[in-house]
Amino acid sequence: MITPKPKVYGRTDRASRQHRISRRVRAVVAATLSVGLAAAALAGCAGGASSGTSGGASSGTSGMNGKTVKMFTWVGNPDEEAQWTAYIDGGKLEDPALSVEFSGPAIGSYYTKLPTQLKGSDAPCIITLQNGQLEPYASALEPLDSYMTKAGIKASDYDPSMITQLSNGGKVYALPYDAEPMVLFYNKSMFAAAGVPAPTVHWTTNDFVTAAKKTTKGNVYGFALGQGIGPVGNFLAANDEEYVSKDGKADLTSPALQKRLQWFINLATVEKVSRPLEASGGQFPDIDQFSNSQAAMLINGTWDMAHEAKAIGANNLGVAVIPSDNGTPHGSIAGTGFAMTKSCGDKAAAFNAISAMTSAKSQQAVAKSRSQVPARADSLDAWKSSTGAEPAAVVKILTENGRVGVSATNGDKINTLFTQYEVNGFSGKSTAAQILQDVRNGVGQ
Amino acid sequence: MTSVTLPPSAAPGLQGPQKKRTKTAITARSWQGWLFVAPGLLGLVLFIIVPLVGSLALGFFKYSLLGGGQFTGFDNFIHLVHDPLFINSVVVTTIFVVAYTPLNIMLSLAMALWLNTRLVGKTWLRVIFLIPALSPMVANAAVFRLLLQKDGAMNGALAGIGIGPIPWLSNGSWALGAIILVSLWQSFGYNMIVLGAGLDSVNPDLLAAARIDGAGAFRRFRSVTLPLLSPALFFTSVLTVIGAWQVFIQAYIITGGGPGQSTTTIMMYLYQSGFTYDQLGYASAMAAILFIIIAITTLIQVWGQKKWVFYD
């Protein structure tokens, strides 16, 4: 069968075929580009809509979703999700129209992802910062002093140690929602089974080691060791010792640090009351051990109470002071605050959300529902009435003897190297002195 | 199909209009060619060239993601040469590349040869061995972290045959060995499939001829199969070496770079510098050095292929 060729005047067959192909290609490309551009335009419109519809200019909607304030925080598990929901619900007691949405990674990667979020085209309006974490991010945050003055909020309403830790250059950058001492959690039934009496608020280091020995059985250890320099720092703080100066300089030659690190390592290698630390990309093997009843004791902040109560049973969870050599415990106060980003499109709404979530009404509600120690003095009674006598007594003495923890300016690098090198102590390859020397070499000290 | 254009001297009568038409045709064809490669080219420029140049440029700055940048010339590169942590990471990564690459190729080749025999269910076995390569590295690494703990399942299994316990995660040498083993488990399946395809394309007549000539199994493998498989071996070895220089997830998830610095690879230290210590300029300088190392290694492989790779 012969297919008639279309007539093309003034061209050879090959040239006309090429011309037709060329035309088809152009048509296809034009159509594709049109569809692509249309899709891009639609995507752009959709993006604009999802960033908020209340404003006009894009700068007015950055970090907002309509009238909802976007918050970037750590949301690593359902318990943390419940915590943020509790603060938002608490804020609604102060401002019923409050609308905040939150998202974020687990705490382990939160500070790694935070800079990218803050530099992104749709940075959140609110972020959360723990004590000691403000300094690197201060340049991307809005000082809150003028907003506080305008709203009649005084810094003195909040725990002074937390306000100090959430301030930079004399300016307040975040308002705290909790001010929680580091405490020692213990498993009551394990203590009872081993015939160990409940710890008192004057527990000594010797009492602690004795209890740990008695509760160690097979693969269940008396005490869960945490990774990094923080867990060693807890024992330093309990003994009123410090290796970081007030200007943030870490002294890695500190005899106190070396002594406590060696003692910490000996818990596993000499006393055999702890599982030796191994190299791991994981963050909190100690919490996992305690929550799974693989260890009788754990050191963490009171913010972990709700989670541990759920894991091992509220009636089974005991709270004690971190032991000290002379039985006079010193609390290391830690906590978190809400900060506002400079790029926030609606700063008034963001500050309103922060003040509502840190208001007395909110903190009292959360103190009752989640046992978190509030950062406001006027909310402490609500916490004491909702938690038992034991945690209240522990927090009282730790707060009275509380000390403001100072973070080293190059704390991230020190902690990373410390985490890597301390494993050599547990394997017997290095002493505490060698580990600290290795860390010093790494940070160039 | 190719078109032949006669030179003007050979076809004087066609010189005028024919010349014009040919030029038009070539131009149109050329335009079409560019159009067809445009999507790929656009992707290459946007996602490879621009980030590469941007990363290289950042290497000349002291750059913080939050604090902005400050031009520092070659300071980052000079600092790298004197940084013991970086030098250590280069040594660790080199050990990994040198140990992992031949092990991977040998294991993949052995498995491909085994699966090239008259084995029952070899298709299913191919799929099973490929599964680790298809599953997410992060999830695999997280599982291996648990398996390799002192009281983990790996030591439990070894204890059953009277071995161990092995300090997989508390001794530097064992930790690097563990990273190599996990990497092998994860990725040998891909090379196995490529080499298997290469084996399938070996002409059976050549093997039959060698057999008739009295060549034994080993001689047939060395003198017939291996030369014919050399293009596939070259391809897999180049990709394996490139991947090995960039090893990251295994160390990040399983060991966190420890114990000490024993598993801190270049990529691991690059990540720590860029995203934990907020030294993006320094990390970018590191990336540039890594790029150069990979480029040189690949060039050596490409030059070296002339001696051992045979194309039909």
Q: What does DSSP say about strands A295-301 and A403-404: parallel, antiparallel, or unpaired?
A: unpaired
Convert the pLDDT of each residue in A340-358 to its tens digit.
999 999 999 999 999 999 9
How many Cβ pairs closer than 8 A exist between chain A and B?
108
What is the CB neighbour count within 10 angstroms for residue B19?
14
**Residue A166 structure tokens:** 């959430």
Would you say A396 and A327 are in contact if contact means Cβ atoms under 8 Å apart?
Answer: no
| Whether B261 contacts chain A with CB within 8 A | yes
Q: What ipTM does the predicted assembly reach? A: 0.84
Chain A interface includes B67 (CB < 8 A): yes
Q: Does residue B5 or residue A43 have the better pLDDT? A: B5
Question: Is 50 exceeded by the pLDDT of residue B15?
Answer: no
pLDDT tens sequence across B295-304: 999 999 999 9
Is residue B50, in this structure, part of any structural domain at all? Answer: no
Q: What percent of chain A has pLDDT over 70?
A: 86
Other CB atoms within a 10 A radius of the CB of residue A16 amount to 16
Residues on chain B touching A427 (C-beta within 8 angstroms) = 167, 170-171, 259
Q: CB count, 10 Å around CB of B49?
A: 12
Rg (CA), chain A: 28
Q: Do A420 and B258 touch (CB under 8 A)?
A: yes
Q: Which domain does B232 fall in, by range?
A: 75-308
Chain A CB contacts of B264 under 8 Å are 420
Minimal C-alpha gap between B239 and chain A (Å)? 27
Q: What is the DSSP letter of A388?
A: -
| Buried-exposed string A361-376: b where 16+ CB fall within 10 A, e elsewhere | bbbbbbbbebbbbbbb
Within an 8 Å CB–CB cutoff, is residue A109 touching chain B?
A: no
Confidence of residue B69 (pLDDT cuts 50, 70, 90): confident
According to DSSP, the β-strands at A180-187 and A332-334 are antiparallel
CB A419 within 8 A of CB A227: yes
Q: Do A15 and B257 touch (CB under 8 A)?
A: no
CB A174 within 8 A of CB A341: no
Query: What's the pLDDT score for residue A409?
Result: 80
Using CB atoms, which residue from A420, A429, A441 is nearest to B257? A420
Q: Spell out which residues of chain B touch residue A137, defining contact as CB-CB under 8 Å.
A: 66
With an 8 Å Cβ cutoff, is B102 touching chain A?
no
Which chain A positions have a beta carbon within 8 Å of B248's beta carbon? none
Contact A288/B at CB under 8 A: no
Return the residue matching tokens 């707060």.
A399
Instruction: For chain B, give the mean pLDDT.
Output: 89
Q: Which residues contact residue A7 at a Cβ distance below 8 angstroms, ignoring those fewer than 6 apart?
A: none
Could you state, in order of their start, the residue ranges of all structural domains in chain A?
64-179+335-375, 181-332+401-443
Q: Which residues contact A348 (CB under 8 A, 6 or more apart)?
A: none
Mutation site for A-interface testing, chosen from B30, B31, B85 by largest number of A Cβ within 10 Å? B85
Among chain B residues, the shortest Cα distance to A21 is held by B32
User: What confidence score (pLDDT) does residue A60 get?
Assistant: 58
DSSP string, A239-299: TT--SB-TTS-B-TT-HHHHHHHHHHHHHHHTS--SPPP---S-S-HHHHHHHTTSEEEEE
Contact in structure between A90 and A366 (CB atoms under 8 Å) = yes
Contact present, A277 and A227 (Cβ < 8 Å): yes
Does A137 contact B259 at a Cβ distance shorter than 8 Å? Answer: no
pLDDT tens series, chain A, 445 aa: 333 433 333 334 444 444 444 455 444 444 443 333 333 333 333 333 333 333 333 345 789 999 999 999 999 888 889 999 999 999 999 999 999 999 999 888 898 889 889 888 889 999 999 888 888 889 899 999 999 999 999 999 998 888 988 998 899 999 999 888 899 999 999 999 999 999 988 999 999 999 999 999 998 999 999 999 999 999 999 999 989 887 788 999 999 999 999 999 999 999 999 999 999 887 788 999 999 999 999 999 988 888 899 999 999 999 999 999 999 888 888 889 999 999 999 999 999 999 999 999 999 998 888 878 899 888 888 888 878 788 888 888 887 777 766 778 888 899 999 999 999 999 999 999 999 999 999 998 7
Q: Domain total for chain B? A: 1
The enclosing domain of B265 has a CATH number of 1.10.3720.10
- Is residue B176's pLDDT more than 90? yes
Confidence band, pLDDT 50/70/90 cuts, at residue B14: very low
**Interface contact B141-A281, CB threshold 8 A:** yes
**Which chain B residue has its CA at the smallest distance from A424's CA?**
B259
Domains A64-179+335-375 and A181-332+401-443 share a fold: yes
Peptide bond between residue B165 and the one before it cis (omega within 30 degrees of 0): yes
Closest by CA position to B137, among listed B104, B188, B186, B192: B186
Residue from the list A116, A419, A441 with its beta carbon closest to the beta carbon of B65: A116
- Contact call for B256 and A12, based on CB within 8 A: no
pLDDT grade, residue B22 (50/70/90)? low
Look at A280 and B256 and tell me if their CB atoms are within 8 Å: yes
The phi, psi pair for A216, rounded to 5°, reads -85, 120
Q: How far is A12 from chain B, CA to nearest CA, in Å?
A: 9
B-chain residues near A278 (CB < 8 A): 149-150, 169-170, 259
Q: Does A440 touch chain B (CB under 8 A)?
A: no
Crossing angle of helices B15-44 and A13-50, in 10° steps, is 20
Confirm whether B280 is domain-assigned.
yes
Nearest CA in chain A to B255: A280
Inspect the interface and report whether the beta carbons of A423 and B32 lie closer than 8 Å: no
B77: pLDDT strictly greater than 50 = yes
Q: Closest Cα partner for B104 from B242, B306, B228, B283?
A: B242
| Average pLDDT, integer, range B175-199 | 95
CB pair distance less than 8 Å for A441 and B84:
yes
End-to-end CA distance of chain A: 88
Inter-chain contact B169–A423, Cβ cutoff 8 Å? yes
Shortest distance between the Cα of A284 and any Cα of chain B, in A, equals: 13
Rounded to the nearest angstrom, the minimum Cα separation between A366 and chain B is: 32
Contact (CB, 8 A) for A381 and A165? no
Closest residue in B to A280 (Cα) is: B255
Chain B partners within 8 Å of A18 (Cβ) = 25, 28-29
Which residues does chain B have within 8 Å of residue A424's beta carbon, measured at their own beta carbons?
259-260
Distances (CA, A) of B154 to A191, A201, B148, B186, B232: 32, 43, 6, 16, 34
Contact B31 A22 (CB under 8 A): yes
Asked if the structure places residue B90 within a domain, the reply is yes
In a domain, B164, yes or no: yes
Chain B touched by A29 (CB under 8 Å): yes
Query: Residues 160..219 of B with a Cβ closer than 8 Å to A: which?
Result: 167, 169-171, 175
Per DSSP, the three-state class of A375 is coil
DSSP classification of residue B8: T
Task: Tell me if chain A has a CB within 8 Å of the CB of B80.
Answer: no
Q: So what's the pLDDT on residue A384?
A: 82
- Which residue of B1, B30, B143, B169 to mutate against A (max A Cβ within 10 Å)? B169
Burial class (CB in 10 A: 0-12, 13-18, 19+), A389: exposed
Least Cα distance to A234 among A330, A131, A133 occurs for A330
Whole-structure pTM value: 0.81
Architecture, CATH, for domain A181-332+401-443: 3-Layer(aba) Sandwich (3.40)
How do residues B132-155 score in pLDDT, each as one tens digit?
999 999 999 999 999 999 989 999
- Overall CATH class of domain A64-179+335-375: alpha beta
Percent pLDDT > 70 in chain B is 91
Q: Taking the C-alpha atoms of B92, B271, B246 and B54 in order, what is their torsion angle to the nearest 10 degrees?
A: -130
Helix/strand/coil (H, E, C) string of B166-203?
Answer: CCCCCCHHHHHHHHHHHHHHHHHHHHHHHHHHHHHCCC
- Mean confidence (pLDDT) of chain A: 84
